[in-house]
Amino acid sequence: MNNPIVVALDVPSAAEALRLVRQLGDAVQWYKVGMELFAAEGPAFVRQLAAAGHFVFLDMKYYDIPETVKRATAVVASLGAKLLTVHAVDQVMRAAVDGRQGSDLKLLGVTVLTSFDESDLRMEGYSATVAELVAARVARARAAGVDGIVCSPVEVARVREIAGPDAILVTPGVRSAGADKGDQKRVATPRQALASGASLLVIGRQITRAADPRAEALRIRAEIE
Ligand code: C5P
C-alpha cells in the first residue's frame, strides 16, 4: 500500500535517528535526512538507511556552480537516496539532472524559501512577487527535467496546475487537526494537503515527539484513508 508520510529525522545523531526508525517499523517507509543529521553522520547513515530498505529523501538544497552540483548529485545517487532537493534555479537544476543520469534518483526543486517574503526578494534584487517567482521556477523546473517541487500545502494546488499531474509534490507544514503546530504558521491537515494535490507529506515533530511515534504514524495513516 502506498504510504505518503515522510518522517523528518530532525535529530542530531544517527543513534537517535535509528531509535526512531526502529520504533516506527513498517508504519513509515520514507525518511527525510536534512542538513543537521547529514552534517553529523554523513553518507554512511544514508547508505545504512537505504540498505535497510527505507526510502531516503536527502534534503540538501544544493546551490553551486554546475560542475560541483553535477558531481555532488552523482554521489548522492550512488548512496541509494531516492529524492534530493536542489534550488530551483535553471543552471543548478540542469546540472543536477545531468548528475543523476543513469540512476533512479528523483530531483525536487525548492522554489522560494518560505522564510522569504517580498521585502527579502526586493533586497536580493528581484522585482517579482513571491507567487510570481514560485510559478516561474516551477515551470522552469519541469522544463529542466526536475521531477517535483517542495511546496507549502497552501500553494500546492496552484503548483500542481503548473507542474502537471506527474510531478512529485512534497509538502511540509502538515499537521493533524488539534496537533501542536510548533513554529509552523501555514499548516494543512494531511487529508487537505493530499486533496490539494500533494504526493508526499513531510511530518516531523507531530510524529517524532509523540509519546508513541508508531501509534501516531498509524493514526495519521488511518486519518488519510
Ligand atoms: O516538525 P515539522 O513537521 O514542522 O517538520 C517539518 C520539516 O519540514 C522540517 O524538516 C523542516 O525543515 C521542513 N520544512 C518546513 N517548511 C519549509 C521547508 C521545509 O517545515 N518551508
Look at residue 183 in the predicted model and tell me its pLDDT. 86
Domain 5-224: homologous superfamily in CATH: Aldolase class I (3.20.20.70)
> pLDDT digit string (tens) for 197-223?
999 999 999 999 999 999 999 999 999
> pLDDT digit string (tens) for 93-137?
999 999 999 999 999 999 999 899 999 999 999 999 999 999 999
Q: Cα of 198 to ligand 1 centre, how many Å?
A: 15
**174 band by pLDDT with thresholds 50, 70 and 90:** very high
Q: Cα of 152 to ligand 1 centre, how many Å?
A: 10
pTM for the predicted model, two decimal places: 0.96
Look at residue 154 in the predicted model and tell me its pLDDT. 92
**62 band by pLDDT with thresholds 50, 70 and 90:** very high
How large is the average pLDDT for residues 156-178?
Answer: 96
Atom of ligand 1 nearest to the CA of 209: 1
Where do the domains of the chain lie? 5-224
Q: Is the CB of 153 under 6 A from ligand 1?
A: no
The verdict on whether 32 is a catalytic residue reads no
Q: Taking Cα atoms as reference points, which of 45, 32, 26, 33 lies closest to residue 6?
A: 32
Q: Are 5 and 217 in contact (CB under 8 A)?
A: yes
Q: Is the CB of 7 under 6 A from ligand 1?
A: no
Look at residue 181 in the predicted model and tell me its pLDDT. 87
Of the candidates 61, 82, 181, 185, the residue annotated as catalytic is: 61
Average pLDDT taken over every residue of the chain:
96
Q: Please report which helix (H) or strand (E) contains residue 23, including its range.
A: helix 14-24
**For residue 1, pLDDT beyond 60:** no
Of all protein residues, the one whose alpha carbon is nearest to atom 13 of ligand 1 is: 172
Helix, strand and coil percent figures for the chain, each rounded to 5: 45, 15, 35
